[in-house]
Amino acid sequence: MTAQHPGASAPAPEQLLPTEVTATALGQWPGEDPYEAARIIRGELGSPHMPFLAELPARGVGSDALGRTASLLEELAVDVQPFGWRLVDRPGKDYRRAASALSTDINILADVAGAEDSPAPEIKVQLVGPMSLAAGLHLHNGERALIDYGARRDLAASLAAGLGTYLGRVAAAVPGARLVVQLDEPDIAAVLAGTIPTASGYRTLRAVAGSEARDSWRLVLDSLRAAGSVETVVAVPEVEAPFEQILAAGADGIAVPLKALTTRQWEQLAGAAEAGKRLWIGALDVAGSARTKTADCVDTVWRPWRQLGLPAAAISSVRITPSSGLAAVTPSRAQELLGQLTKVADRLNQQALG
């Protein structure tokens, strides 16, 4: 396969080209102790792997991904109603709670990283992307912000405007570390297909045009780069994943679960890899009760890679992740999974060396 993927381009000059397969996880972590989470994550994902700032949804309101991202919005505020997070005129206790939890997590990250003899060279943070943010936040009347073009536009602009301060705080917590951002779009297939229900449940919201999604992503991606992100990857579910739209918007890569990828999707990912994009492959399934063997994880990545004719050395564009966040497992199991991720990455590197 030699054709360059549509919309893809070479990595930005400041982005360091990968030299080996590495591992990371998708952000969500079990339990309520941010110090213990940071200690485990940074211990298991030492160089060359990539630690991340954990999200701990078990702490409650404001520690969920949606509330955490909403606390970064510039000149927009939120509160919590029975139907979920809602845009409001002025910040209230729910908004302050989300902002406070995030500040605590950043301070703890600074303490843990500062005590390390050899701090990791990278740190990842996660954000909800503008399309899923509009699908998750509600207007005063209870309808999702997704229903209104002006609200969607304002949310994307507000998110883009609030990112500089946030990344600046993370950078100050881990001086010298390269900042990587994972932009989560869990609802993107439903947003583009028009299958998200209205507040009444009797109909669905109109589909958002792919061109609008690209424009919103481009706005946020440009803001992240200006704020210091050296790599921004858009994370999507595998079903109806809009790979072409994401790459056309200028993302540095795609994060996607591996289990249900079709042959056509693998071909699209192969084109992205050939164009210099990063692939975060969710090869370690955490949803089922059965535990996946390391050798099986390696095979599910290596076999299609070689069948598509991709060179062994090009697998360095891959980061290995779990298939989903780890909030639903126990802390000990989450730690075990991080260790297994690094083993999968190491074995893929050995395969590439022959």
- What does the pLDDT look like over 179-221, one tens digit per residue? 999 999 999 999 999 999 998 888 999 999 999 999 999 999 9
Query: pLDDT at residue 227 above 70?
Result: yes
The single-letter code of the amino acid at 46 is G
Secondary structure class of 322 (helix, strand, coil): strand
Banded pLDDT at 7 (limits 50, 70, 90): very low
Confirm if 51 and 105 have CB atoms less than 8 A apart. Answer: no
Q: Residue 30: is the preceding peptide bond cis (ω within 30°)?
A: no
Local structure of 35: helix, strand or coil: helix
| Structure-token pair, residue 27 | 């952000």
Length of the chain: 354
Mean per-residue pLDDT, 152-157: 97
Phi first, then psi: give them for residue 110, nearest 5 degrees. -60, -40
pLDDT tens per residue, range 76-103: 999 999 989 999 999 999 999 999 999 9
pTM of the model: 0.92
What's the pLDDT tens digit per position in 54-70? 999 999 999 999 999 99
Q: What is the pLDDT of residues 310-332, one digit of tens each?
A: 999 999 999 999 999 999 999 99
Given a contact cutoff of 8 angstroms between Cβ atoms, the answer to whether 25 and 38 are in contact is: no
pLDDT exceeds cutoff 70 at 9: no
CA–CA separation, 187 and 189 (whole Å): 6
CATH 2.40.110.20 fits 22-353, yes or no: no
Q: Are 51 and 73 in contact (CB under 8 A)?
A: no
Half-sphere exposure of 72 (CA within 13 A, CB side): 30
User: 258-282 pLDDT, tens per residue?
Assistant: 988 999 999 999 999 999 999 999 9
Question: Is the pLDDT score of 340 beyond 80?
Answer: yes
Radius of gyration of the chain (CA): 19
Helices (H), the chain: 34-44, 65-70, 93-114, 130-136, 149-173, 188-193, 210-226, 243-248, 263-274, 294-307, 331-353
> What is the reported pLDDT for 1?
35
Number of other CB atoms surrounding residue 1 within 10 Å: 12
Q: Which residues pair with 85 in a beta bridge?
A: 80
Separation between Cα atoms, residue 277 and residue 237, nearest integer Å: 18
On the question of pLDDT at 8 being above 70, the answer is no
User: Which of 189, 83, 170 shows the shortest CA–CA distance to 127?
Assistant: 170
Q: What share of the chain is helix, strand, coil (3-state, %, to 5)?
A: 45, 15, 40
